[in-house]
Amino acid sequence: MSGRVLVGVKRVIDYAVKIRVKPDNTGVVTDGVKHSMNPFCEIAVEEAVKLKEKKLIKEVVAVSCGPQQSQETIRTALAMGADRGIHVDVSGKDYENLGPLQVSKILAALAKQEDAQLILLGKQAIDDDCNQTGQMTAALLDWPQGTFASEVSLEGDKINLVREIDGGLEHIKINTPAVITADLRLNTPRYATLPNIMKAKKKKIVTVKPADLGVDVTSRLEVLKVEEPPQRQAGRV
Amino acid sequence: HLVPVFCLAAHRCARLLQKIKTEHATPQLYTALHRRACSTVSTPRITTHYTIHPRDKDPRWEGVEMERFADEADVVIVGGGPAGLAAAIRLKQLANKHEKELRVCLVEKAPQIGAHTLSGACLEPSALTELIPDWKERGAPLNTPVTEDVFSILTEKYRIPVPILPGLPMQNHGNYIVRMGNLVRWLGEQAEELGVELYPGYAAAEVLFHEDGSVKGIATNDVGIAKDGSPKDIFERGMELHAKVTLFGEGCHGHLAKQLYNKFNLRENCEPQTYAIGLKELWMIDEKKWRPGRVEHSVGWPLDRNTYGGSFLYHLNEGEPLVALGFVVGLDYTNPYLSPFREFQRWKHHPFVAPTLEGGQRIAYGARALNEGGCQSIPKLTFPGGLLIGCSPGFMNVPKIKGTHTAMKSGMLAAEAIFPKLTAETLDSETAGLHVPEYAENLKNSWVWKELYAVRNIRPSFHNYFGLYGGMIYTGIFYWIFRGKEPWTLKHCGTDANQLKPAKECTPIEYPKPDGKISFDLLSSVALSGTNHEGDQPPHLTLKDDSIPVARNLGIYDGPEQRFCPAGVYEYVPLDTGNGMRLQINAQNCVHCKTCDIKDPSQNINWVVPEGGGGPAYNGM
């Protein structure tokens, strides 16, 4: 076992910012808007770093797909304790159309390339709320998946997982290698403190293109229109 | 009397409280232990911050590791605004020119450079051209030259046009309408290219001192302290950044500068600083109403002639029909019922303003305090180990309503004064910070001082029976004709906090209800600022004495903080027991404007920096 964990981190618009639809209704305004790491990805990074601190795994590799600014998000993961980063460079129109299917193909390719034992992801991103990438990645790799994890423990070459489901908590045991997606109560992410940010500047981030991994990022979906939800009308009592 | 009996009961109560194990308890701990001679009603505990309740006496902090990681730089700059960035850029330019290695670190509390920047703004490009002569080729976002300049006195229904004669300070020929947040972001990119280490998201929380009392550097904020002041599992100490010299560019009314004034007695020979609050919105308007390059200013309605303030409305020209508009109110106002936010909202309904906004959409909101003291209020600028730059000491030209060009120039002058000393062979900075008094001398000999001196009497001239009109006449005579050469210097009236009259001497103001199309309510406005803070941290709006707000601010002044805070942080709500009120501080709403620290009539509020990365998320404001 390589003892290597791949953690996916996504750069999204910060959750407290008010979203504005572009005047041409093709998307939302992102220029200059405050972005941060997807909160569920932070939880995934924290879990990976915790596993490394318990000496159950050897290396944490942070991955992000997006434009140049995604490197800032990888930098934050490095500051939280990841060892190195991989930036999959996707920008412009390709980035606007990037969705779970392409990302999961990229992650699957990277998992094979890096000989990963575990892939840790957030359960969903707060911008598209898709909740698909983890599941698709597991399917592409034909790996077991433990989604909505609220507790993770490694037992030899198996993983004990507690999942948060509609009916309550489900306890499962899965083989490795596996894909796990983090839910809110898995842990409380640590802060990326300044000394760690400074140290993170010395850690390596490698940039690759999707084509290098043999992945075609053309989207099968076409966005027709983006509009604001209808104004709430006053209720009647 | 009752007091000894009460104290006995209190003592017993306190012993019982200590027995209860509190695990991140919500802050409703009743402190009947107040030994101060205030009300016998127990005040709910509001302030839990360690600057008011020190941790070395707090049993919850026993055994917690408090050592900090430290690093050394040549220069540390606090604040990533125009002044701080101009200083950083100038330092690196000099270092590259003279082929010297210089480590310049800049810390900024905003999550990204420009996110806490808010300004009108009509930029005078003089300082920028001095700093980066090829700013245009490098893509600086100065896209809107001023084409039209309009000044009005407003009455409730009408408008009196005032000709802007050449030579008056509010003339804007040659200037650019800019989105200051974007310019600051661009300056940040220039600084990074030159090798400055920028650390947005980390706030300077503490000044560090050498044994001899000189400034050694700063420490960034601790993280992971719960709302009740106890350490969380993820608690981590901030980091110490040591430097040979530290530049403080925190902007108007910086919280570290406040401490430095006291420590080094920097304000003993100057007048207290006076301020105004500026509120601003960005609107996407109907294209038919858009007149790119047009600058509009007004005074008068809705303020009365004795309340200083006015409005601005600038048509940007960046490819979309965007206007920046806002309202400024001098914080020396006397009526505690005045709400700067609601004055701003009702001004927008004036027949001269409303048509521009009809059919448009508001996309941003924010507020910030600004300086109005001019050169009378500039403190001593240097002290062993540090210097003050930018709006922190305060170089704003009030009648021009511009302070960015002078702030940048002060940063550049600071860099130029420090550089030779940093690279001098004889340097003993292990135990003492550098003192650079040359900076202050150079500033006094520069165009910054000349400009500020010429307009020094305009703002104070407002304090006469005729208020605004007296001020305008004074400006016309002494500035326009005599260019500020009159031999006297008028004084301000004292601190802004002391100007409030008791509520019973004043009339409440009837503000119209917001219509939801042109004017809006406070909370939806605050949502547009994108402001947020980690919820589980001690409120950063600390009170020196938790009982004073209800006893004094509410009792005498009817709680002016409910009205002057542009973010709805302060609310007086009924006590759970039903009799009496308590102050509720909604710290998460704070937009870091500093108005409360300035205008609190009891000077009981001390704004300290929250966890870095919190605060507004302005985009090109």
Structure tokens belonging to residue B213: 């009392």
Classify residue B325 as exposed, middle or buried by CB count within 10 Å of its CB (0-12, 13-18, 19+). buried
SS3 A214: coil
Structure tokens at B319: 């490819």
Contacting A with CB below 8 Å, chain B residues are 69, 71, 107, 111-112, 114-115, 181-182, 185, 199, 202, 220, 223-224, 232-234, 236, 238-239, 284, 320, 363, 527-528, 530-532, 617, 619-620
The strand pair at B231-236 and B223-225 is best described as: antiparallel
Q: What's residue B460's pLDDT?
A: 87
Whether the Cβ atoms of residue B227 and residue B48 lie closer than 8 Å to each other:
yes
The answer to whether the Cβ–Cβ distance between A17 and B530 falls below 8 Å is: yes
Across B371-392, average pLDDT:
95
CB-nearest to B111 from A18, A34, A188 is: A34
pLDDT > 70: percent of chain B? 92
Amino acid in the structure at residue B568: G
Beta bridge partners of A11: A37
Q: What are B441's two structure tokens?
A: 């001398």
Alpha-carbon distance of B113 to A200, in angstroms, equals: 19
Contact A16 B530 (CB under 8 A): yes
- Selecting from A14, A32, A194 the residue whose C-beta is nearest the C-beta of B239 gives A194
* Residue A207, strand partner residues: A87
**φ, ψ for residue B454, nearest 5 deg:** -65, -30
Measure the CA angle with vertex B85, ends B83 and B91; round to 5°: 100
Quick one: which of B249, B260, B253, B252 has its CA closest to B206? B260
pLDDT, one tens digit per residue, over B501-542 is 999 999 999 999 999 999 999 999 999 999 999 999 999 999
Q: Which two three-digit tokens encode residue B143?
A: 């896209």
- Tell me how long chain B is: 621
- Is B122 tagged catalytic? no
Residues B312-333 have a mean pLDDT of: 95
* pLDDT at B429 (0 to 100): 57
pLDDT grade, residue B4 (50/70/90)? Answer: very low
Q: Tell me if residue B152 falls in helix, strand or coil.
A: strand
- Give the C-alpha separation, A116 to A8, whole Å: 12
pLDDT tens across B121-166, in order?
Answer: 999 999 999 999 999 999 999 999 999 999 999 999 999 998 887 7
Enumerate the β-bridge partners of residue B46.
none
- What's residue A73's pLDDT? 96
For chain A, how many helices (H) and strands (E)? Answer: 6, 11
d(CA B449, CA A149): 63
Please count the other Cβ atoms lying within 10 Å of the Cβ belonging to residue B19: 6
pLDDT at B111 (0 to 100): 94
> Nearest to residue A10, comparing CAs of A49, A45, A50, A54?
A45
Distance in angstroms (rounded) separating the CA atoms of residues A216 and A94:
10
Q: Which of B71, B185, B232 sits opposite A198 (nearest CB)?
A: B71
Closest alpha carbon to A119 in A89, A152, A90, A88: A152
A chain contacts of residue B363, beta-carbon cutoff 8 Å: 20
- The beta-carbon neighbor of B619 closest among A23, A32, A193 is A32
Take residue B470 and report the two structure tokens written for it: 């007296």
pLDDT range class, residue A233, cuts 50, 70, 90: confident
Report CB contact under 8 Å: B223, A14: no
Tens digits of per-residue pLDDT, B174-190? 999 999 999 999 999 99
Let me know if B305 is a catalytic residue.
Answer: no
Chain A nearest CA to B114, separation (Å): 9
B contact test, residue of A73, A191, A232 with most B CBs within 10 A: A191
Q: What is the pLDDT of residue A189?
A: 95
Please, what is the Cα angle at B407 between B401 and B412, to 5 degrees?
A: 150
B506 is catalytic: no
Q: Report the distance separating Cα A9 and Cα A15, nearest Å.
A: 15
- Read off the amino acid at residue B463: H
Q: Which residues of A touch B69 (CB under 8 A)?
A: 195
* Across A37-46, B159-168, B214-223, B364-373, least confident range: B159-168
Integer Cα distance of B105 and B204 in angstroms: 12
Tell me the C-alpha distance between B565 and B525, whole Å.
Answer: 12
CA distance A144 to chain B (A): 32
Cα separation of the two ends of chain A: 63
Whole-Å CA distances, A147 to A40, A131, B369, B482: 12, 10, 48, 76
Residue B428, pLDDT score = 60
Overall residue count recorded for chain A in this entry: 237
Rounded to 5 degrees, φ, ψ at B162 are -120, 120
Determine contact, residues A218/A105, Cβ cutoff 8 Å: no
B425: confidence class by pLDDT, cuts 50, 70, 90: low
Q: State residue B52's pLDDT score.
A: 92
**Per-residue pLDDT band at A225 (split at 50, 70, 90):** very high
Mean pLDDT of chain B: 89
Is B493 a residue of the active site?
no
Name the residue with tokens 């500093």. Answer: B594
User: Per DSSP, which regions of B419-525 are E strands?
Assistant: none
Contacting residues of A for B530, CB less than 8 Å apart: 14, 16-18, 34
Element of type H or E holding A169:
strand A168-175
Average the pLDDT over B292-309 and give the result: 92
Cα B413 from Cα B423, distance rounded (Å): 16
Task: For B186-200, write each residue's pLDDT tens digit.
Answer: 999 999 999 999 999
Dist. CA B170–CA B151, nearest whole Å: 9
Q: What percent of chain A stands above pLDDT 90?
A: 89
Q: Which of B323-327, B351-355, B384-388, B483-487 has the lowest mean pLDDT?
A: B483-487
| Tens digits of residue pLDDT in A23-82 | 899 999 999 899 999 999 999 999 999 999 999 999 999 999 999 999 999 999 999 999
Strands (E), B181-293: 197-200, 204-209, 215-220, 223-225, 231-236, 240-248, 275-284
Buried b (16+ CB within 10 A) or exposed e, B384-398: bbbbbbbbbbbbbbb
pLDDT at B139: 95
Contacts across the A-B interface (CB distance below 8 Å): 59
Distance of CA A46 to the CA centre of its chain: 12
Distance of alpha carbon B400 from alpha carbon A216, whole angstroms: 56
Can you give the pLDDT at residue B31?
Answer: 39
Q: Which amino acid appears at position B146 of this protein? A: V
Residue B40 confidence class, pLDDT cut points 50, 70, 90: very low
| Residue B339, burial from CB neighbour count under 10 angstroms (0-12, 13-18, 19+) | buried
Give yes or no: B382 in active site. Answer: no
Residue B17 has pLDDT above 50, yes or no: no
Catalytic hit among B307, B590, B595, B602: B590
Q: How far is CA B29 from CA B42, B130, B233, in A?
A: 10, 56, 22
Taking alpha carbons only, the member of A210, A206, A204, A8 closest to residue A92 is: A210
- Residue in the structure block whose two tokens are 């100007």: B499
Task: Confirm whether B582 is a catalytic residue.
Answer: no
| Range scoring the smallest mean pLDDT among A178-182, B56-60, B484-488 | B484-488
Check if B368 is active-site.
yes
Smallest Cβ–Cβ distance between A34 and the set B233, B527, B530 belongs to B530
As a whole number of angstroms, the distance between CA A88 and CA B141 comes to 30
Minimum Cα–Cα distance from B220: chain A residue: A194
Closest Cα in chain B to A194: B239
Whether A184 and chain B come into contact, CB under 8 Å, resolves to: no
Which DSSP category does A40 fall into?
H
Residues 6+ apart with CB under 8 A from A109: A213, A214, A215
